A = this chain, B = another copy of it.
Amino acid sequence: MSSNKSRPNRQRSALEPQRRRGKDRVAALMEAAAGVIAERGFESATMAEIAARAGAQIGSLYRFFPNKEALADALIYRYGEIVREAFEKIEARASALSVHDLADALLNVLFELHGESQTMVALLEARSEWSVKRNEFRRAAVQYIARILTLRAPHLRPDTVEDVAVVLLHTMKTLKALTIQQGVAINTGAPAELREMTRLYLASKFGEK
């Protein structure tokens, strides 16, 4: 059927893996996508650059991801899983944590997605009308935070909890944005201030000093 006639294997190194496993390829593509999107934003990231950075061909990229949206969704999903795990860890010890530590733990969820969180932010910033997945992620994150808050402070009204969760999610995003902050001088003081603000707020909400 498919002959190799038109692509003779001259200079094909014996050791070069000719057919990377699909999984590796997908991983490489997603990593490349994350990098490009983080650098340029979702809109400006091009499928061609993503493929190139992954050492793949554009056709290969489209084999695994039928379009750009799907790629974004896959990334969101992957990060979503990581984030979910982080939330679950916090949830497990929620009731044991001091306000201070809980605030920090939450803030660190996004923060510790080191390289990738920039991608997350870029993805979440992109015009969202197009994608359902992005909103789902937001909603899920809010739910997780709300659940954790409820565990720690069961007396809070459900309505309030959700509002607080929304605020906290934004604060998490802000922390990330603060540390990325385009260009030069990385502001070391501001993140500390943001952490303090969050602690104060949580403490107040929990009715603790």
Contact = CB atoms under 8 A, between A and B. Distances in A.
A127 interface: yes
Copies in the complex: 4
Interface in A53-92: 67-68
B2 A129 contact: no
Contacts of A43: 1-2, 41, 43-44
A189 B162 contact: yes
A60 to B, nearest CB: 15
A11 interface: no
B135 A182 contact: yes
Contacts of A189: 159-160, 162-163, 166
Contacts of A40: 4, 7, 127
A173 to B, nearest CB: 8
A125 interface: yes
A141 B74 CA distance: 37
Interface in A109-126: 125-126
Interface residues of A, number: 48
B183 A135 contact: yes
Nearest to A204: B200
Contacts of A68: 5
Interface of A: 1-2, 4-7, 19-20, 40-41, 43-44, 46, 67-68, 125-130, 135, 159-160, 162-164, 166-167, 170-171, 174, 177-178, 182-183, 187, 189-190, 192-194, 196-198, 200-201, 204
Given A6-B129, A44-B127, A167-B174, 7 more contacts: A4-B40, A7-B44, A40-B127, A127-B182, A163-B193, A166-B190, A196-B201
29 contacts: A1-B43, A1-B44, A4-B40, A6-B129, A7-B44, A40-B127, A41-B43, A41-B126, A43-B43, A44-B127, A125-B125, A127-B182, A128-B183, A129-B183, A135-B182, A163-B189, A163-B190, A163-B193, A166-B189, A166-B190, A167-B190, A167-B193, A167-B194, A170-B178, A197-B198, A197-B201, A200-B201, A200-B204, A201-B201
